[in-house]
Chains A and B, each alone.
Chain A
């Protein structure tokens, strides 16, 4: 049930935001609007229609540009919220 909920959330967040996840070690996000919170275990980014939260260990933003970023580390959870 939780997976279906996440799927529905992803659908409603933003169609312009494109996310590419490589295993649990890297996530590329295109169409982000900025970094809200950044620490070793949490990275929270703003997108057009919501907020994406990456949780894990040794998280780091490998690259940050005006509309994209790359989060690397040991990702354990990705949450979407409006």
Chain B
């Protein structure tokens, strides 16, 4: 009954009064004509309710029955909107709000990914999209288990993942796989040899027979720890030797820097392109095209959050700056600073595990090239396993 009243109210209806003629005949004409009436009043009062759209068509029946119709009351949404007058926008806005609320609540608003460090969020997002989970996807089509399985098949580096729907927000938690440690086969005998030339500073032997002592000079490839261990009875056994031999070594770092070079600089002028992303669908806000020639692009996405929750509305902005190449000549100071920066990077990157105790830099100019050379005194573990072949 409520749904019937609601439909009537949404479509609008009028109550009319009926005067003169034969009301019963009029009611029968209406009923046979396919215009249902309700709340029909008796002969004395005369009148009924009918759908707003049907009212005009009842006039011919009234004429045939000799009655006169007059609208006495108007009800329903169309009349409410019509009578809103200057504030019609408010009524339309309210209707649009409730409709949108109803429609949008059936879809995924945003996907929050957490727990990833090595795998890029965009990769996970793409895999989730292929699995059917993306902003704007119908919630009824999403099965957490299926999405998890499909995503993990796409990304084998994920060890575990969980998809939880929190209203219209999908929380995706991932756990990346840990790299399995390198398995050392300790059953195979091996020696320890020097990986670099230097002077031994300290020794620490786990297994095997130490052949050098503190202060000894060693050359690359020299046997440091033997796998042959002699027991108290004079017998020999072969062991998997392990040791840490710290030695002072020398290294040379060389960096060539071109003094004359082309440097890209902003040439002035830029083009900004913006897109409005709504439920994964992009709507261009600017109609500019990418500038021709050499350009740099900087992109950023402004996301809208309410109470910490990501909304499915974001603005993607690309700033295209025109660039030009300018020939510059570096000063010696600039070249040296660049070379020193490269040395610092090498120490933190390529020379990992090596402690640089002293650096003696020198540089020279060769034509347009600045050659920077640094002689480094380092402390490092020079122990290197060297397998031995045992017959039988």
Contact = CB atoms under 8 A, between A and B. Distances in A.
B41 A35 contact: no
Contacts of B24: 34-38
Contacts of B41: 60
Interface stretch (A1-9, A19-27, A47-55, A63-71): A63-71
Interface size grouping (class) on chain B? 10 to 19
A59 interface: yes
A63 B36 contact: yes
A40 interface: yes
B371 interface: no
A18 interface: no
B288 to A, nearest CB: 61
A20 to B, nearest CB: 16
Contact of A66 (B32, B42, B43): B32
A61 interface: yes
Given A34-B28, A34-B31, A60 B36 contact: no
B30 interface: yes
A59 B41 CA distance: 9
Interface of B: 23-24, 27-28, 30-32, 34, 36-44, 48
30 contacts: A34-B28, A34-B31, A34-B32, A35-B24, A35-B28, A37-B24, A38-B24, A38-B27, A38-B42, A38-B43, A39-B42, A39-B43, A39-B44, A40-B43, A59-B42, A60-B40, A60-B41, A61-B27, A61-B37, A62-B38, A63-B36, A63-B37, A63-B40, A64-B36, A64-B37, A64-B48, A65-B31, A65-B36, A66-B34, A69-B31
Interface of A: 34-40, 59-66, 69
Given A61-B40, A64-B36, 6 more contacts: A39-B44, A60-B39, A61-B27, A61-B37, A63-B37, A69-B31
Q: Which 10 A-B pairs have the closest CB atoms?
A: A34-B28, A61-B40, A63-B38, A65-B36, A40-B42, A35-B24, A39-B42, A64-B37, A39-B43, A66-B31
